[in-house]
Amino acid sequence: MTHIRRLASLGFTTAAAFGFGIGEARAADALSSGDTAWILTATALVLFMTLPGLALFYGGLVRARNVLSVLMHCFAVACVASIAWLVVVYSLAFDDGGAHQEWIGGLGKVFLDGVGTESLSGTIPETVFFMFQMTFAIITPALIVGAYPERIRFGAVVAFSLVWLVLVYAPACHWVWGGGWLADMGVLDFAGGIVVHVTAGVSALVLAIVLGPRRGFPHEIRPPHSPGMTVTGAAMLWVGWFGFNAGSALAADGNAGMAMTVTHISAAVASLVWAVTEYFRFGKPSVIGIVTGMVAGLAAITPAAGFVGPMGAVVIGIISGFVCQWFTTWIKFKIKIDDSLDVFAVHGVGGILGTLLVAVFAVPDFGGLGLAEGVTITDQLQVQVIGILSVAVWSGVITWVIAQIISRTIGLRVSEESEIEGLDIIAHGERGYDLT
């Protein structure tokens, strides 16, 4: 409850009332069947984002001979993250860390020790909170899958995701949502701009650098083999994101309703801005572009969804649609980093933009709910920058170390022959399509 007391001292009545949805977000200790029903639904929606939404979105973007490997990566990451969350990551993220509370949680909730059917987290059962948060822990390393398709060993995916959750995600989650030092500073991250998108985006960029580019990059990379599959996955992401953001209110109330509203607006605006930008830059708006713009708008509104109003959502959508689109080409063709499916450009940059812009558009003049008592836009912006930089540096450094260790032990990258043949048949002995 450290961050709840901190928010109260800043002038917030309860965390949920101001959009601090994740964590022990409500001071009340009575079970609410309405809140519980909504978070159960939101949990299913967030898992729906990963399985099948993200899997199909990514699967359609790669070559036909690698589609199954991408689906396998997303599915396996979901399984690994679920077990890791139960065993230790949930405890490290949300348990009281005692003398080390500012930096990491304790081990009091390993294997959900002490958590029963009567245990509450605010107005919902702690088991429901556990499951809701688990879906965030699943989708975050799954987002990184987009940085390395078509050239990574399957064993490396499993090992990296497991260690990364313990060493990167758990500390970052605790710092922001579990009562850590960033929560004490008053950082605003409603549903994961820092915890999900900055960690995943920066880690994806570092891992892409360590892994190296695909064969023929950037001039011989083939276009997506199934844009229709990608659009299908994108549509599932859009729907599932309502659980991601509106569910983060941890209550069935007006705050959840506004979070859902601004989420939808930002996604729609960013989609159109991306399409228009493509039209003026390349002469044609693409279907891959418009759905990627949607994801950029969703990523950008995520940290701000519980703090801003519709006006802020429109501006965040405009900025993220344009800036993220520019970054996709700049990273690939200017600095020549093969972040294959644009994880950093879309999720990392989008999350950073939203995390910064919430300091501006949370103020009532722009339709927001207001900053904490006595806090100016400049004050809040400084806290947001500290949050972004600290988590980005931690994510990047630890990811580099993990990748180097894996590369020198079990191996990180497949052989050139395997890359030519395709990972579906080489790694899994199957093909995505039987065209005979």
CATH code, 325: 1.10.3430.10
Q: Give residue 321's domain range.
A: 2-21+33-428
Q: Please state, in angstroms and rounded to a whole number, the distance separating the CA atoms of residues 251 and 124.
A: 8
Q: Is 426 helix (H, G, I), strand (E, B) or coil?
A: helix
Whether 269 is in a domain gets the answer yes
| 340/336 Cα distance (integer angstroms) | 11
Q: What is the pLDDT along the chain (436 residues), one digit of tens a residue?
A: 333 333 433 333 333 333 344 444 444 469 999 999 999 999 999 999 999 999 999 999 999 999 999 999 999 999 999 999 999 999 999 999 888 899 999 999 999 999 999 999 999 999 999 999 999 999 999 999 999 999 999 999 999 999 999 999 999 999 999 999 999 999 999 999 999 999 999 999 999 999 999 998 988 888 999 999 999 999 999 999 999 999 999 999 999 999 999 999 999 999 999 999 999 999 999 999 999 999 999 999 999 999 999 999 999 999 999 999 999 999 999 999 999 999 999 999 999 999 999 999 999 999 999 999 999 999 999 999 999 999 999 999 999 999 999 999 999 999 999 999 999 999 999 999 987 5
Give domain status of residue 433, yes or no: no
Q: How far is it, in rounded angstroms, from Cα 302 to Cα 349? A: 12
How many Å is the maximal CA-CA distance in the chain?
Answer: 69
Cα distance between residue 370 and residue 377, in whole Å: 10
Within a domain: 28: no
Q: What are the respective helix, strand and coil percentages of the chain, to the nearest 5? A: 70, 0, 30
Residue 181 falls within a domain, yes or no?
yes
Tokens of 263: 């989420």
Instruction: HSE, CB side, 13 Å, CA atoms: give it for residue 154.
Output: 19
Q: What DSSP string runs through 133-199?
A: HHHHHHHHHHHHGGGSTTSB-HHHHHHHHHHHIIIIIHHHHHHHHSS-HHHHHT---SSSIIIIIIH
Number of compact structural domains in the chain: 1
In a domain, residue 436? The reply is no
